[in-house]
Structure 1
């Protein structure tokens, strides 16, 4: 395995200020950590036959912005993170191609619109599962990948590469606390209390709620990742002001008045 190339990739990510990166070998899709698992057509090597490794990067969703959801503030942050993910993964794939290893980036979303998602709620590649297999987190009841540093407040992007890179170990400890805050807070009633994957999100209900917010220009929802108590970011953003909770509420109410219908 090419340890020197992995070190070069990590340095490239450091220079682009990417805080989360993990690597999974493609054979991990063939030996899944739980069942039911995805069909083979969704494996990275089915999408890019030359793939031997998958590089996954993660960018955080800043908690104070997320706390205003649904809002134009979170809407714009979500778009910004998505754009950066596409740019960074494209640049990483280009770097690997220049090093002589055929590589491609995978866009952060695999669908054209909420309307498309309502009709067919499955993307052609799952970055969340790639991040799980790359050791970046574990699944929670809310069907998102929970990370130690940011909880579920992370967006992921992936690079499929022919380079045989040393994989990172998967996390052994489950990060979800089973507090069920996400289940109770979901405005679409799309979650239940069963563990992943038994308690899969009601994708139709979730997509319908997203479509309603999109018509108001304040999608996505994000409430299930907002209420999750896991993540070092909660301590980072914790207010030392005794009136902090009231100030956050007032800030949220102010932001929600503007920018959408």
Structure 2
């Protein structure tokens, strides 16, 4: 246990405070220290949720206690990923190939070690990568919502933070009991500007950037009070366009090649520029994996954070 926390704990033990007050104060101190550590490790935001919140939203097998027996809390971090300069770059591939989406993973990896070393409680990084199709064992987006860091949006159900907009999330599951942060009471999306745009053209900026009725991925409606009424997101269509290179696409391309009956066509597919780039993407990993950010590029939420000189 860190010295500062030990000292405070001894002070509280010698005080006349009620035991429940002492325990609550210790948990608050731990929460403050853990959040400060997460920010120092590179996170832009950090929130905490108790594991009971998953009962109403996640089926059995996808809850924190299914991954770490005895889990009591989930600490969630968010990082901005692409820099403000990357958003303005003339080549959109820079958004992905520079590896700008790893700050959240670095922060949470360091945080799990911090919790185990400083507080002597178990901690693991929640597994967010898909293991079957697009289904991960643990949803970072749900964790971000339950920890009060954001709410879902029209744009591919992306969880938007009220200050930064698009963030990349990671989570730490721990047996350390920590006070939970409140969930956001007000939806981040739609932005007031988007509500006005919807009134004029029947679409928000993100819907207009990728309209489902013109072969795109997004659609939805806003009610009379300016809140999300319905959301349509074609995930498979989005993935086929935004993930043209990487493990998923390699698997799909290989399946297409091995099931091709015509030998000349099969040979042409093997030697195609597309398959060469797919193999390169798997081999070197940072070959552009996600190539489409257009719904987020037009989103007004968080734009003020990207205005620099």
Q: CA deviation at 1:52?
A: 0.9
CA distance in 1, matches of 2:220, 2:90: 23
Match of 2:62 in 1: 42
Match of 2:53 in 1: 28
Match of 2:28 in 1: 3
| Offset from partner CA, 1:220-251 (integer Å, 9 cap, x none) | 112222211112xx2243478xxxxxxxxxxx
Match of 1:52 in 2: 72
CA distance in 2, matches of 1:194, 1:38: 26
CA distance in 2, matches of 1:185, 1:80: 23
Match of 1:237 in 2: 306
Match of 2:170 in 1: 157
Greater Cα offset, 182-191 or 138-147: 182-191
| Offset from partner CA, 1:132-166 (integer Å, 9 cap, x none) | 11011111111011111111x21001000001100
Q: Which of 81, 86, 96 is matched with 2:101 structurally?
A: 81
Task: Summarize the alignment of residues 92-111 of structure 1 with structure 2, pairs less than 5 Å apart.
Answer: 92-98=111-117, 99-107=119-127, 109-111=128-130
Match of 2:220 in 1: 193
Match of 1:225 in 2: 296
Q: CA deviation at 1:74?
A: 0.6
Instruction: Give yes or no for the alignment of 1:146 onto 2:146.
Output: no
- 2:41/2:106 contact within 8 Å kept: no
Aligned length: 223
CA distance in 2, matches of 1:50, 1:136: 24
Q: Which runs of 5+ in 1 are unaligned?
A: 32-36, 241-261
- 1:70/1:219 contact within 8 Å kept: no
From the superposition, tell whether residues 238 and 90 of structure 1 become closer, same or farther in structure 2 (CA, over 3 Å): closer
CA distance in 1, matches of 2:245, 2:229: 27
CA distance in 1, matches of 2:300, 2:138: 28
- Higher relative contact order, structure no. (Cα contacts within 8 Å, ≥ 6 residues apart): 1
| Offset from partner CA, 1:184-229 (integer Å, 9 cap, x none) | 2128612211477952521111111123365664331122222111
CA distance in 2, matches of 1:210, 1:230: 21
Match of 2:17 in 1: none
Q: CA deviation at 1:125?
A: 1.1
- 2:86/2:95 contact within 8 Å kept: yes
Secondary structure at the residue paired with 1:144?
Answer: coil
Secondary structure at the residue paired with 1:42?
Answer: coil
Q: CA deviation at 1:86?
A: 2.1
Greater Cα offset, 196-205 or 87-96: 196-205
From the superposition, tell whether residues 20 and 45 of structure 1 become closer, same or farther in structure 2 (CA, over 3 Å): same
The structure whose residues are more often helix, as a share, is: 2
CA distance in 1, matches of 2:90, 2:74: 32
Q: Which runs of 5+ in 2 are unaligned?
A: 1-23, 195-203, 223-227, 247-273, 278-286
